[in-house]
Each structure stands twice: as structure tokens, then as C-alpha cells.
Amino acid sequence: MSECTHNCSTCGENCSSRTEPQSLLKEHHAEARIGKVYGIVSGKGGVGKSMVTSQLAVTMQRRGYQAGVLDADITGPSIPKAFGVHDRAAGTDSGILPSITSTGIQLMSINLLLDNETDPVIWRGPVISGVVQQFWTDVIWDVDYLFVDMPPGTGDVSLSVFQSIPLDGIIIVASPQELVSMVVEKAVKMAEMMNVPIVGIVENMSYVVCPDCSKKLYIFGEGKTADAAARHGLKVLSQMPIDPALASLVDAGRIEDFQGSWLDSTADTL
């Protein structure tokens, strides 16, 4: 027998010291009430995860559910800006209270804890992962649906969320460019390795509506996301357009005023 490294996951020996792998899932705050938890992910940045996350929260809130957003993109937080929330989060002796938007959606983001929301977060991966875990364990949520806005890619923070937060599923956000197949495959493989269910794919920037004739113009082409989804046995839940009005609402901090039913089918599935 070789010398024991005390790492049973990499050892093939069957000895008396062998232990079963321990779950890394964390309990949420004792005073919190959290219903379903969904991660919004992608294999790369710039595809609109935060936009999809924000609109899903608004859609569920409009349907009479209490929605919340945990902004896990620590180095690129954009959720508070989209909702027009700039006040610092408050706390009690027992925990952190999420900030509340104008329609009652609960938010927690690193920008709500910084002295200046434009200050960069120059932290190493383990520190960032620890903060994300605290947004789960230390925040007193009271929500039916909690949406986790993930950072792009498959790095430390994504791994930490998958391992420490009991996700009911993930929604993959993709755009219709040729890269979509590779991007989707990375996200799918990570979810499969972490044993997290995949709800389906939301395609963002799918088309532009002509202002003159109202025809949908597929400037990046059609079918690429559907083909990638079919290869993995997944469903394309929704297609979202490129809409200048949405960008204006986000810039103004008024995402709760958006008009459109693009994510209704995704909300129906949830």
C-alpha cells in the first residue's frame, strides 16, 4: 500500500480510514425563506445573463411571486444598476437584509456593500467565492424564486455556486453566433459534472424587429442555438430580441418597466 495522502477521492484503496465524500452544500440563513433557486449561466461573457436574470425576476414578481436576485458576478456586478438601487444594504445583529426594488424584488450584490459602487473589486478567487457563499448563508432572504446571476465561464465562483448552493436548476444564456455550440457545451458539461439539472436555453439577441414593417430580422442567422440544444437534448425556452428600449431602461435603472413577453415561456417552465 502506498503512503496515505488522506484524500480518499483520488485513492483506490479500500482501507478502514476511507471516508465517503462529504457534501459541500451550505445551509441558508436560519431566518431566511427560500423557495426555488435557479442559476443563470453562460460559457462566455457578453451574452446578456444579467438582462435575462433581471427580466425573469420581474416576470415572476408580476405573476404574484416574491422574487430575488443574488448577484454572484462579484467583479462585474450590474444588477443594482439595472434596478436603479444605489443605497447600501442594511443589516441586523443576525444577518444582512437584501435591498428592495420599487416593485418589491429583493437584491444582494457586492455593489450594495461598497463605499463607492464604481470601486473595482480586486480580490483573488477564494475571497470572491467566500463572499458569494455569504450572500447565501448570511442574507435573510424571503423569496419564492431566487435567481443567481452567475459570472461568465467555469471558474472559481461558478464552481463555488454549484458546490455550495442547492440549485434547483440552471438556465443557459446563449447568443446565435457560430460560437454558440462551444459556449453551450462548456456550460452543459459543467452542469453535468456538478449534477445540476439544466432547465433549458434562452437565446438572447436573436433578432431585431424592423421599425417600419415589424418583420423579425435575424442578423446573426437562425437555428444555431436550436441545433446546439438538440445535440444535448435541451429545450430552447425563449428567444429575446435586440431592443434599444431595453438598453435604455437598464441605463435608467428602470428594468422593472420593460414591456414584452419574451420570457413568459421560460417562466411557465419554472
Ramachandran region of residue 189, left (φ > 0), alpha (ψ -120 to 50) or beta? alpha
Instruction: Give the C-alpha separation, 242 to 264, whole Å.
Output: 17
The number of residues in the chain equals 270
Q: Are the beta carbons of 172 and 188 closer than 8 angstroms?
A: yes
The predicted model gives 224-253 an average pLDDT of 91
Buried b (16+ CB within 10 A) or exposed e, 80-94: bbbbbbeeebeeeee
For 137-169, how does the pLDDT look when each residue is reduced to its tens digit (9 = 90+)?
999 999 999 999 998 776 778 888 888 999 999
Q: Are the beta carbons of 164 and 22 closer than 8 angstroms?
A: no
The predicted model gives 92-101 an average pLDDT of 94
Dihedral angle over CA of 5, 10, 14, 19, nearest 10? 80
What are 18's three cell numbers?
A: 476511507
pLDDT more than 70, % of the chain: 90
Check residue 23 and give its pLDDT.
Answer: 76
For 11-62, how does the pLDDT look when each residue is reduced to its tens digit (9 = 90+)?
656 665 555 556 788 999 999 999 999 999 987 777 889 999 999 999 999 9
Looking at the predicted structure, is the pLDDT value of residue 7 above 60?
A: no
Q: Identify the CA nearest to 163 among candidates 191, 143, 142, 141.
A: 191
Whether the predicted model's global pTM rises above the 0.85 cut: yes
Looking at the predicted structure, is the pLDDT value of residue 181 above 80?
A: no
Check residue 18 and give its pLDDT.
Answer: 56
The predicted model gives 73-93 an average pLDDT of 91
Looking at the predicted structure, is the pLDDT value of residue 85 above 80?
A: yes
> What's the chain's average pLDDT?
88
